[in-house]
Structure 1
């Protein structure tokens, strides 16, 4: 079949047109990749999740091929304020969030919820957890969980346990130990971890569950005494401190986990891309070093495993909330 050769001016115009179309396509691709991801944190600046994500953000940007990530703190209502923004965002991968235990606790604590904590999100990865530790004021004679149990049984009305607020995960962590130990102890809620730790040190309250990084200094100084780690495994900085489960209370298993999520119906290809970036970011040396300093245990789950984890955790905390009789208007 004969070929047709365009005259030189027409060939030149055609070549320029093709080059222009290619450049336009490349530019459009760059513009799409340059759109920043809005990473909503339903917690205040300086909190555990905030510290984690700000440490990991540069590596996440790198893992996303340079796509910007803009962190935005939207605290309030136990995380409901920020989570509401996440679930109502378009499912295009440009609005994500990082939620923690309270996200699945809230449906059992609050009488009304503006969204379905599991059905209205797309889990990308439960990334890891911050260990919780059960602590006491040093004046308490108990040195381990069994001794503490015996002390609380001997004086049912003699001690109090503190939390960072009614219905918080720290409240439920304390309630989890009390239930496992078969004791009832008066709960004293505070407005945040800071005031709670201050009163624990002064002896205004005697017992508390708290994230380990928040009391590392106090433990080293002897201002508080650690009874045991409340999760499944010991921590590197306190290798001789056993878990509460090791001490005879296998049902005590709680830590401050955190997870990257998006709105419901996020396309599978986007979920795969984002999951890969999160895993890569938390595997980078800079992030691993930062997480080790913060005592965080990093073990990213798949999207499928994360969804099942959310469901299981929501059911588990629902039972605990009912047992503890916690409600928030």
Structure 2
């Protein structure tokens, strides 16, 4: 029986070597035709801007088209599912944001598992948020805003792009750390939110730096603080919330590149390596800086750890705010 077992083992090893060799050869040839880059939000969104910034250089480096396809809807779920159900061959990849980590706490019946059904490729970078008020707001500092909120519980309001979005979670972290009660007004997207904020219909909001940098520079909105532990190079004169008295406040939404589950490691590593090179190109860094986006790059392992950590953070914030998952 031992010789038979040995021969069986040899055959198994042989098949394994052939399989690994095939995967390696496929990665060497990848990509040999057009790659779909799924963006689960509408054109002009931060996700879309980031995809269209690094997509063309990636096409040039890998000598194949990376075509951006916008699949907006259902809190980014529609577009994410498009990637999840695709064959794990690298020809359908996608973008996700911090909202991906919120959805498990907001939706009881997601059409995929937010961890098991994806292969994180890299965290492309982060989109620092800014606490902004209308230009004629009586609140010129974070301390003034908190003092007013404590004097008038539930009277001061803030807007977000919807319940459970990164903008909402930043505000929940703010109210929790400041120990204040404020009224949340959810909007269907960022554009109507910014319009009402500029006209003074709402008192303040946390907004992505790429979406309000121009208004802040023009003086139509006033920035009180940024949500990161360090000041932003795009707004160096704006203090952090940590500096403004909310010690330890740090909320920095991310954007990641991902593929379906079981995406072969050589393809994952190839994409990761090429994206990292592009992120450090002076022309790309300049484009991102203008947008207020901070390019970082990470390993697949670190990207997975970030997603898992934010799933827990989001769950804790929503639970503390008594926000339950929808059917």
Higher mean alpha-carbon deviation, 169-178 vs 31-40, is at 31-40
Q: Residue in 2 aligned with 1:129?
A: 126
Give the CA deviation at 1:147: 2.2
Q: Residue in 2 aligned with 1:46?
A: 44
- Pick closer, same or farther for the CA change 1:29–1:160 going to 2, 3 Å: closer
- Pick closer, same or farther for the CA change 1:57–1:99 going to 2, 3 Å: same
Query: For 2:137 and 2:176, how far apart are their aligned partners in 1?
Result: 20
Query: For 2:199 and 2:30, how far apart are their aligned partners in 1?
Result: 55
Candidates 150, 154, 163, aligned match of 1:157: 154
Candidates 39, 51, 59, aligned match of 2:57: 59
| Aligned length in residues | 301
Tell me, yes or no, if the aligned pair for 1:62 and 1:281 is still in contact at 8 Å. Answer: no
Candidates 278, 285, 289, aligned match of 2:286: 289
Tell me, yes or no, if the aligned pair for 1:63 and 1:280 is still in contact at 8 Å. Answer: no
| TM-score of the superposed pair, with normalisation by structure 1 | 0.87
- Pick closer, same or farther for the CA change 1:32–1:269 going to 2, 3 Å: closer
Secondary structure, counterpart of 1:307 in structure 2? helix
Q: Does 1:252 align with 2:249?
A: yes
Once the two structures are superposed, residues 168-220 of structure 1 have per-residue CA deviations (whole angstroms, 9 ceiling, x without a partner) of 11111111111111111010011111111111122211011001222223223
Candidates 275, 279, 290, aligned match of 1:278: 275
Secondary structure, counterpart of 1:179 in structure 2? helix
Higher mean alpha-carbon deviation, 240-249 vs 94-103, is at 240-249
Give the CA deviation at 1:67: 2.2
Q: Does 1:178 align with 2:175?
A: yes
Query: For 2:318 and 2:75, how far apart are their aligned partners in 1?
Result: 15
Tell me, yes or no, if the aligned pair for 1:87 and 1:262 is still in contact at 8 Å. Answer: yes
Secondary structure, counterpart of 1:312 in structure 2? helix
- Pick closer, same or farther for the CA change 1:29–1:236 going to 2, 3 Å: closer
Q: Residue in 1 aligned with 2:227?
A: 230
Runs (4+) of structure 1 exceeding 4 A deviation are 28-32
Query: For 2:49 and 2:319, how far apart are their aligned partners in 1?
Result: 32
Once the two structures are superposed, residues 122-170 of structure 1 have per-residue CA deviations (whole angstroms, 9 ceiling, x without a partner) of 1110110111100122443332222221111011132111111122111
Q: Residue in 2 aligned with 1:4?
A: none
- Pick closer, same or farther for the CA change 1:29–1:276 going to 2, 3 Å: closer
Tell me, yes or no, if the aligned pair for 1:282 and 1:298 is still in contact at 8 Å. Answer: yes
Query: For 2:154 and 2:285, how far apart are their aligned partners in 1?
Result: 44
| TM-score of the superposed pair, with normalisation by structure 2 | 0.87
Give the CA deviation at 1:231: 1.7
Higher mean alpha-carbon deviation, 125-134 vs 276-285, is at 276-285
Listed as ranges, the matches of 1:305-316 within 5 Å are 305-316=302-313
Query: Any gaps of 5 or more consecutive residues in structure 2?
Result: 1-25
Bigger radius of gyration: 1
Give the CA deviation at 1:253: 1.8
Tell me, yes or no, if the aligned pair for 1:162 and 1:190 is still in contact at 8 Å. Answer: yes
Query: Any gaps of 5 or more consecutive residues in structure 1?
Result: 1-27
Give the CA deviation at 1:30: 10
Secondary structure, counterpart of 1:249 in structure 2? coil
Tell me, yes or no, if the aligned pair for 1:121 and 1:264 is still in contact at 8 Å. Answer: yes
Tell me, yes or no, if the aligned pair for 1:59 and 1:282 is still in contact at 8 Å. Answer: no
Q: Residue in 2 aligned with 1:101?
A: 98
Tell me, yes or no, if the aligned pair for 2:41 and 2:48 is still in contact at 8 Å. Answer: yes
Q: Residue in 1 aligned with 2:237?
A: 240
Tell me, yes or no, if the aligned pair for 1:129 and 1:257 is still in contact at 8 Å. Answer: yes
Cα root mean square deviation, aligned? 1.8
